[in-house]
């Protein structure tokens, strides 16, 4: 069993890490890949990886929404592009020093959903933010290919649009040059883009969304995904499974690595195979992508 995408440097996971890891191991867990999202959690992520090196690998990346969160201010006084370049250059400098300590590049990708939620910025600034995200993502893909590291990719569109996933696929194809590998984490885009993603050689990451009543579209994607391309994740502390969400006795509801067991059980029902077989095959996929 594995958790290919989680944020162990975030609370409440960070404060209860020994118990969380013990629970994962007791359930038969083998591998965890913790992801950074900004400049602040890099060192914590690396420290966690070093402390639990037999189980936890580390992915370093800048989440696409990092730039709007750190370059847009209420007075609109900052030069968005100049600020983003400073941040990206700082990240690349840090990343190049930390390459021997990491297993993957991530979390990276594009997120047009959050840009779409911004009601008080101009269309010009929204376009600029998209361009900044694309430039950052290109750099992440280039570094991954140059260093033979897998990618953990985030692609989230505005509802009713496919612009984001199309841009992600295009950048991976252009910059990856057939050499990029990795996983499209928590893919919730249109099913028609599944084949282009698989044709790039990537796996699909499934999490507790498949346990939700609202997760029918993602369950359809799971049905259509070959078993040799399925990887499991939690995206913890986000997206706790439905059993946690509906349990009134649990006050602090969050996802943790041990939840993958339930996710696999639901996925096995969707795929009409045994949970044991699906766990075994998905572990092989994880090893092929993230451990080679």
Residues making up the chain, counted from first to last: 292
Token match 């370059």: residue?
71
Counts of helices then strands in the chain (DSSP H, E): 12, 8
- Pull the structure tokens for residue 246: 């509906």
> Collapsing DSSP states into helix, strand and coil, what is residue 240?
coil
- Within 10 Å of residue 74's Cβ, how many Cβ atoms? 6
Q: What is the mean pLDDT of residues 249-275?
A: 95
What are the tens digits of pLDDT across the range 130-164? 999 999 999 999 999 999 999 999 999 998 899 99
Q: What is the mean pLDDT of residues 263-277?
A: 99
Domain spans, the chain: 2-291
Residue 74 has pLDDT above 50, yes or no: no
What are the tens digits of pLDDT across the range 186-201? 999 999 999 999 999 9
Residue 69: predicted pLDDT: 87
Asked whether the beta carbons of 165 and 189 are under 8 A apart, the reply is: yes
Token match 């007075």: residue?
75
289 by Cβ neighbours in 10 Å (0-12 / 13-18 / 19+) ranks as: buried
Provide the CATH number for the domain formed by 2-291 in this structure. 3.20.20.140
Token match 């420290």: residue?
47
Q: Is 107 labelled as part of a ligand binding site?
A: yes
Q: Is 63 labelled as part of a ligand binding site?
A: no
What are the tens digits of pLDDT across the range 101-133? 999 999 999 999 999 888 888 888 899 999 999
97 by Cβ neighbours in 10 Å (0-12 / 13-18 / 19+) ranks as: exposed
SS3 content of the chain, % helix, strand, coil (to 5): 55, 15, 30
Q: Is 140 labelled as part of a ligand binding site?
A: no
Residue 75: predicted pLDDT: 46
Tell me what percent of the residues of the chain surpass a pLDDT of 90.
Answer: 86
Q: Is 7 labelled as part of a ligand binding site?
A: yes
Q: What is the mean pLDDT of residues 172-190?
A: 98
Rounded to whole angstroms, the Cα distance separating 8 from 91 reads 19
Q: What is the mean pLDDT of residues 254-263?
A: 98
Asked whether the beta carbons of 232 and 282 are under 8 A apart, the reply is: yes
Residue 77 has pLDDT above 70, yes or no: no
């Amino acid at each position: 069993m594995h958790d290919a995408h989680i944020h162990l440097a975030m609370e409440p996971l960070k404060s209860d890490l020994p118990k969380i890891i013990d629970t994962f191991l007791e359930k038969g867990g083998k591998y965890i890949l913790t992801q950074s999202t900004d400049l602040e959690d890099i060192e914590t992520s690396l420290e966690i990886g070093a402390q639990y090196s037999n189980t936890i690998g580390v992915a370093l990346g800048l989440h696409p929404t990092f730039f709007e969160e750190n370059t847009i201010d209420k007075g609109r006084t900052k030069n968005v592009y100049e600020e983003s370049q400073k941040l990206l250059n700082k990240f690349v400098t840090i990343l190049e020093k930390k390459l021997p300590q990491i297993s993957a590049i991530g979390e990276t990708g594009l997120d047009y959903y959050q840009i779409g939620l911004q009601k008080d910025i101009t269309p010009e600034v929204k376009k600029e933010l998209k361009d900044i995200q694309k430039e950052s993502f290109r750099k992440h893909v280039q570094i991954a290919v140059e260093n033979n590291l897998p990618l953990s990719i985030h692609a989230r569109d505005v509802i009713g649009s496919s612009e984001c996933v199309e841009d992600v696929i295009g950048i991976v194809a252009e910059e990856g040059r057939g050499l990029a590998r990795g996983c499209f984490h928590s893919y919730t885009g249109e099913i028609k883009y599944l084949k282009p993603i698989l044709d790039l050689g990537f796996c699909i990451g499934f999490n507790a969304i498949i346990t939700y009543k609202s997760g029918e579209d993602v369950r359809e994607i799971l049905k259509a995904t070959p078993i040799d391309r399925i990887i499991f994740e939690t995206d913890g502390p986000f997206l706790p499974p439905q059993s946690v969400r509906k349990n009134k006795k649990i006050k602090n509801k969050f996802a943790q690595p041990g939840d993958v067991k339930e996710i696999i059980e639901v996925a096995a029902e969707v795929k009409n195979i045994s949970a044991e077989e699906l766990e075994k095959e998905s572990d092989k996929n994880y090893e092929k992508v993230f451990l080679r």
